[in-house]
Amino acid sequence: MSLTVRTRYAPSPTGYIHIGNLRSALYEYLIARVHGGQFVLRIEDTDQERLVEGAVDVIYRTLKICGIKHDEGPDISGPYAPYVQSERKDIYLPYAKELIKKGHAYYCFCSKERLEKLRMECEAEGRTFRYDRHCLGLSEEEVKSRIEAGEPYVIRQKMPDEGTTTFHDAVYGDITVDNKDLEDQILIKSDGYPTYNFANVIDDHLMNITHVVRGSEYLSSTPKYCLLYEAFGWEVPTYVHLPLIVKPDGSKISKRKGDATFEDLINDGYLAEAIVNYLALLGWSPDSNREIFSLAELEKIFSIDRISKSPSVFDMAKLRWFNGEYIRAMTPEAFHEIALPWIKKGLTVDLPTFPIARMIQNRTEVLSEIPQNIKFLNELEDYDLNIYVHKKMKTDLKISLDSLTAAVPVLEALTDWSEESLHEALLNLVAKLGIKNGQLLWPVRTALSGWEVTPGGAIEIAAVLGKDETLRRIRIGIDRLKSSGQV
């Protein structure tokens, strides 16, 4: 086996990228990079019934968005091409026949009906279903005649009847299982395609894969892989099983239960960099309390020995925090670029988008919330006058009316409608009136938005709305306060 570290990401093209699956890809990539090795992309499409059209493109697109670059794969080729299992179909049967010759595998002609009947009998007796080796004792002559007669068959791995199988996992240590608990798994299916388990072993060996990284739910099937390696006389790769990713209630994340896939998160306005950063910490911890890492930084510091055994909780609130941190760290220009489609989606009036982006950047955690958060810019909706009352700002309806009334001539006189000019004019008015900043700015912000909470302050909102709309909304506020009968 090659001394160079070689890892592989081998997804099945079933339509979407599961969060746990993407984390496996990330860890595989990081293990290869931190050791100066190669990261291989291989498409495992042996289960033809589950294939989804366009799913391979989803895999390519996801890796590209995340910045996870493969060194070999179907789209860029490499020394072990082809990298699509269906294109390697003719490779596997000779290896299965070699196992038959060595006594580690056998032909099985049992029909689906017989296997289903056996399964039902096991269930009725409360036993775990296991194939009963009905075809194990068939003679070479009978096998040959049945194959020549066109009878469908599978090839099964013959598990040892006694003893135990032990393998070492880089995360969980030594794992031992009783061989009697291992079922004679199918290696070659009746359609001639290899099973996922068999093709994995053959391809990993032929492609010199040194580290096999996958979820801990596959720990129980790993002895079967090890027995295959031993049967061929091949070196067993390093196994790295990752802890489960679970929801806060402890249940598994599942697309069928409505849990988000990577594409769902991207479409909802989460940044790929934030998702990758968060996923890296789901099951791995750095040797410091630091949490924000770029992919380039992770490529230098990632280590297998800091992978946890315990399940990791996928917490949407924590992902939101990461996303917000990444958004706040962006330049105003970069944020404007990614926020622009969402700003346009939320606007029904013609307003300058860069000032809006600058206003909302530090108050945005998820991009998809932008349209709702800037809705007040389109039109002034009816609002409860009580939002003018704020104890902390020391405002009430009377103070609000006086402040708004005083603000109108000051704003009317402004010829330069910039944030700087608005800031200077309004704070000069605060000093002239002898009141606190909030006693002017809170009523102005309320009159401009009609909302108790906004993604910007009075000055920012006024700068975005422009002079005419700002004065129009303030006058509406004055009229409503005057006609309320409460001032």
What region, left, alpha or beta, does residue 311 occupy, with left being phi > 0 and alpha being psi -120 to 50 degrees?
beta
Dump pLDDT digits (tens) for 444-469: 999 999 999 999 999 999 999 999 99
Cβ(20)–Cβ(253) below 8 Å: yes
What region, left, alpha or beta, does residue 458 occupy, with left being phi > 0 and alpha being psi -120 to 50 degrees?
alpha
Q: Find the angle CA(420)-CA(424)-CA(429) to the nearest 5 degrees.
A: 150
Q: Is residue 58 part of a domain?
A: yes
What's the pLDDT at 49? Answer: 76
Dump pLDDT digits (tens) for 261-304: 999 999 999 999 999 999 999 999 999 999 999 999 999 999 99
Number of domains in the chain: 4
Judge if 391 and 476 occupy the same domain.
yes
In the three-class reduction of DSSP (H, G, I as helix; E, B as strand; rest coil), residue 245 is classed as strand
Judge if 396 and 455 occupy the same domain.
yes
Cβ(104)–Cβ(182) below 8 Å: no
Q: Which of 329, 359, 388 is the last residue of a domain?
A: 329
pTM given for the model: 0.91
Domain range enclosing 356: 330-379
Cβ(42)–Cβ(36) below 8 Å: no
What's the pLDDT at 1? Answer: 43
What's the pLDDT at 48? Answer: 76
Task: Report the C-alpha gap between 325 and 193 in whole angstroms.
Answer: 47
Q: Beta-strand (E) ranges in 233-303?
A: 238-242, 245-246
381: number of Cβ within 10 Å: 10
Both tokens of residue 165? Answer: 């199988």
Cβ(345)–Cβ(371) below 8 Å: yes
Q: Is residue 147 part of a domain?
A: yes
Judge if 168 and 67 occupy the same domain.
no
Both tokens of residue 193? Answer: 């395609």
Task: Report the C-alpha gap between 200 and 211 in whole angstroms.
Answer: 12
Q: Which of 69, 158, 255, 375 is catalytic?
A: 255
The sign of the torsion formed by the CA atoms of 437, 458, 268, 26 equals: negative
- Residue 288 has φ and ψ, to the nearest 5°, of -150, 175
Judge if 375 and 392 occupy the same domain.
no
Judge if 361 and 389 occupy the same domain.
no
Q: Rounded to 10 degrees, what is the CA torsion of 122, 123, 125, 126?
A: 110
User: Is 318 designated active site?
Assistant: no
Dump pLDDT digits (tens) for 149-184: 999 999 999 999 899 999 999 999 999 999 989 999
Over range 318-345, report the average pLDDT.
98
Domain with residue 480: its CATH number is 1.10.10.350
Judge if 460 and 384 occupy the same domain.
yes
Q: Beta-strand (E) ranges in 358-415?
A: none
Q: Which of 188, 204, 222 is the last residue of a domain?
A: 188
What's the pLDDT at 79? Answer: 97
Domain with residue 159: its CATH number is 3.90.800.10
